[in-house]
């Protein structure tokens, strides 16, 4: 049935105005004043913001890591995402050396199919570059629509790839129109620092942070930026935590390097002291890169405000405290890295950003939705409110005040790292392609309703001279 959203304040990355929205067959078909449509269901949005659904560019659902598997799968994770105002997630498909990329992608499809309640896509991890990978990559990008490749510069002996692999991935991405993403930390140095700490008997969670100094996040970010410049390619740095990394990104951007930076809510509102909480509670706050001393938060907010960082990912990677984080009792290096954030990303940015006057409403929409949709080939289908776009819509009450808590959240995990944080604003109703996923704060979605979205190529300047059609037509068989 058609739906008509009446009287809300539509906010996009560039506009803010009062208008009605007509939705037919999952698509926005009209935006205007005093719209009427026979038979349409009316949704009253008086006094509320009407935002495009959030696009979360960084999640880990149903992911094996550190000898265990994340607490949220595609059903519980996307359900929580929807409660929080997110209508598209891009999850990281892990790969293993020697295993065909297509097999890893099929594994990830099997995790999501029949479970996701909102739309989703995948980034593809690159663990190695060899003839097999080179032969498969064009099909992954052009046929599977997986147009972003992830390289880990850390997690030695687990996910870490060397600089040669990163460089060759950058070259391949440039050739086929993909965006390379990096986890930028110096894994070799961290490996040494961890061994040194454990040998000295320093086993508590705080040593997770102390063995991953911000200086080497900055160093790895700068190295990746230089390799990107050398390759003439494009780079997206995930989960930026510190002023050193921001400075490297800003410096490269100022020289014209095609480089983008993402941060996460945890780095904007939590700090390193959380890892010192007693009774091993510090383990709840173990992310890589780690939470930083508080002064870094200012650098991140400033970078979001002035555009040196452009997106916010949740990096949702949830592990229960009981039985999972506890794997690191007596050895901080065995604490599974990551935390739950998929549900709170949207509201924390609104509350800490807009309500506290750090960013504008339009910047909020850009950071939480539009920019990721553009960078990852989803725009304008996702990431905006426009005629012809999917009706992925959040009706948001800016007047509500509430407290984030594990007792009320919908993530399948036994703690909330933002426990007790008061936030302004709440998603009330959330639509995915015109269907209710959340209706008046109640879940109304269906597992399996979420669709895999094939994404467009990365629109890099170096490729603009050549029509994109030519690339798609030759299916990547030969490129000059
Ligand atoms: O600690 C984190 N960030 N866990 C998830 C994996 C990653 O590095 O993004
Ligand atoms: Zn990472
Ligand atoms: Zn991550
Ligand atoms: Zn190609």
ipTM score: 0.99
pLDDT digits (tens, 9 = 90+) for 395-428: 999 999 999 999 999 999 999 999 999 999 999 9
Write out residues with Cβ below 6 Å of ligand 1: 60, 183, 239, 287-288, 315, 317, 337-338
CA 37 to ligand 3 center in whole angstroms:
44
Whether pLDDT at 431 is above 60: yes
Question: pTM for the whole thing?
Answer: 0.96
Ligand 1 atom having least distance to the Cα of 159: 8
Q: What is the enclosing helix (H) or strand (E) of 309?
A: none
The region that residue 241 occupies, defined by phi over 0 for left and psi between -120 and 50 for alpha, beta otherwise, is alpha
Is residue 477's pLDDT more than 80?
no
Distance 345 CA to ligand 2 centre (A): 17
Interval 213-246: pLDDT, tens: 999 999 999 999 999 999 999 999 999 999 999 9
DSSP letters spanning 360-406? -HHHHHIIIIIHHHHHTT-TTTSSS--TTSB--EEEEEEEEEEE--T
Residue 463 pLDDT level (bands cut at 50, 70, 90):
low
CB atoms within 10 A of CB 140: 24
d(CA 363, CA 359): 6
CA 287 to ligand 1: nearest atom: 1
Peptide bond into 289 cis (omega under 30): yes
Tokens of 107: 């594994």
Report, as an integer, the average pLDDT of 91-100: 98
Best CA proximity match to 56, nearest among 344, 258, 445, 405: 344
The two structure tokens encoding residue 301: 């907010």
- Over the stretch 345-370, which tens digit does the pLDDT of each residue have? 999 999 999 999 999 999 999 999 99
Quick one: 53-375 is in which CATH superfamily? Metal-dependent hydrolases (3.20.20.140)
DSSP assignment letter at 351: I
Task: Please choose, from the candidates 185, 158, 142, the residue with its C-alpha nearest in 3D space to the C-alpha of residue 472.
Answer: 142
Which residue has the CA at smallest separation from atom 4 of ligand 1? 338
**393 Cβ contact partners less than 8 Å away, ≥ 6 residues apart:** 5, 21, 23, 50, 51, 52, 53, 87, 385, 430, 431
**Ligand 1, atom 7: nearest CA belongs to which residue?**
288
Given the CA of residue 152, which atom of ligand 1 is nearest to it? Answer: 8
**Closest ligand 1 atom to 288 CA:** 1
Would you state the structure tokens that stand for residue 286, as one six-digit string? 């173990």
Q: Cβ contacts of residue 173 below 8 Å, gap of 6+? A: 149, 179, 180, 233, 234, 458
- State the Cα–Cα distance between residues 177 and 458, nearest whole angstrom: 5
Could you tell me the distance, in angstroms and rounded to a whole number, from the CA of residue 474 to the centre of ligand 4?
Answer: 7
Say what angle helices 243-254 and 295-306 make with each other, to 10 degrees.
Answer: 30
Q: Which pLDDT value is given to residue 201?
A: 98
Of the pLDDT bands very low, low, confident and very high (cuts 50, 70, 90), residue 459 is confident
* Ligand 1, atom nearest to 183 Cα: 8
Interval 374-392 mean pLDDT: 98
- Beta bridge partners of residue 152, listed in sequence order: 183
Which ligand does the CA of 134 lie closest to? Answer: 4
CA dist., res. 203 & res. 195, Å (int): 10
Residue boundaries of the structural domains of the chain: 53-375
99: which DSSP letter?
S
Q: What share of the chain is helix, strand, coil (3-state, %, to 5)?
A: 35, 25, 45
- Closest of 240, 218, 374 to residue 302, by C-alpha: 240
Ligand 1: which of 239, 286, 287 to mutate, most ligand atoms within 8 Å of CB? 287
Q: How confident is the model at residue 462 (pLDDT cuts 50, 70, 90)?
A: low
Residue-wise pLDDT for 11-20, tens only, equals: 999 999 999 9
Peptide bond into 341 cis (omega under 30): no
Task: Determine the pLDDT at residue 24.
Answer: 98
**Could you read off the pLDDT of 129-182 as tens digits, one per residue?**
999 999 999 999 999 999 999 999 999 999 999 999 999 999 999 999 999 999
How do beta strands 49-52 and 393-403 pair? antiparallel
Which residues have C-beta within 8 Å of that of residue 480, sequence separation ≥ 6?
none
Beta strand pairing call for 3-6 and 20-24: antiparallel
Which tops the pLDDT comparison, 66 or 419? 419
Ligand nearest to the CA of 57: 3
470 versus 125: the higher-pLDDT residue is 125
Q: How far apart are CA 139 and CA 475, in angstroms?
A: 7
Question: How far apart are the C-alpha atoms of 269 and 416, rounded to whole Å?
Answer: 13
Residue 467 has a pLDDT of 45
């Amino acid at each position: 049935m058609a739906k008509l959203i009446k009287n809300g304040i539509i906010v996009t990355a560039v506009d803010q105005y009062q208008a009605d929205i007509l939705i037919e067959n999952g698509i926005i078909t009209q935006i205007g004043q005093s719209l009427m449509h026979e038979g349409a269901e009316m949704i009253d949005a008086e006094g509320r913001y009407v935002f495009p659904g959030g696009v979360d560019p960084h999640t880990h659902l149903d992911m094996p890591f550190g000898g265990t598997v994340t607490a949220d799968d595609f059903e519980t994770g996307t359900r929580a995402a929807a409660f929080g105002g997110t209508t598209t997630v891009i999850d990281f498909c892990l790969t293993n050396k020697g295993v065909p990329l297509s097999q890893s992608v099929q594994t990830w499809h099997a995790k999501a199919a029949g479970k996701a309640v909102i739309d989703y896509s995948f980034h593809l991890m690159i663990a190695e570059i060899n003839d097999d990978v080179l032969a498969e990559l064009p099909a992954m990008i052009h046929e599977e629509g997986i147009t972003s490749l992830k390289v880990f510069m850390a997690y030695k002996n687990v996910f870490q790839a060397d600089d040669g692999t990163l460089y060759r991935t950058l070259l391949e991405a440039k050739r086929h129109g993909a965006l390379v993403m990096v986890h930028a930390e110096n894994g070799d140095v961290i490996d040494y620092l961890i061994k040194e700490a454990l040998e000295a008997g320093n086993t508590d969670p705080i040593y997770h942070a102390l063995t991953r100094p911000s200086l080497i996040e900055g160093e790895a970010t700068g190295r990746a930026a230089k390799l990107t410049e050398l390759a003439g390619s494009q780079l997206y740095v995930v989960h930026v935590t510190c002023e050193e990394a921001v400075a490297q990104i800003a410096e490269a951007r100022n020289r014209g390097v095609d480089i983008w930076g993402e941060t996460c809510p945890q780095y904007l509102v939590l700090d390193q002291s959380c890892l010192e909480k007693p009774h091993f509670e510090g383990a709840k706050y173990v992310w890589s890169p780690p939470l930083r001393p508080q002064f870094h938060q200012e650098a991140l907010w400033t970078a979001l405000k002035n555009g040196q960082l452009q997106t916010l990912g949740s990096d949702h990677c949830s592990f229960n405290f009981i039985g999972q984080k506890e794997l690191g009792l007596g050895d901080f290096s065995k604490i599974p890295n990551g935390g739950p954030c998929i549900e709170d990303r949207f509201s924390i940015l609104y509350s800490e950003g807009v309500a506290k006057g750090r960013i504008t409403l339009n910047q909020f929409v850009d950071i939480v939705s539009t920019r990721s949709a553009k960078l990852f080939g989803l725009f304008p289908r996702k990431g905006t409110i426009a005629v012809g776009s999917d009706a992925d819509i959040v009706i948001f009450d800016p007047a509500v005040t509430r407290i984030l808590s594990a007792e009320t959240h919908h993530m399948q995990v036994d703690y909330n790292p933002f426990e007790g944080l008061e936030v302004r604003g709440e998603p009330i109703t959330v639509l995915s392609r015109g269907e209710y996923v959340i209706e008046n704060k109640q879940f109304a979605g269906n597992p399996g309703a979420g669709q895999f979205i094939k994404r467009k190529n990365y629109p890099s300047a170096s490729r603009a001279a050549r029509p994109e059609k030519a690339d798609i037509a030759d299916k990547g068989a030969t490129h000059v």
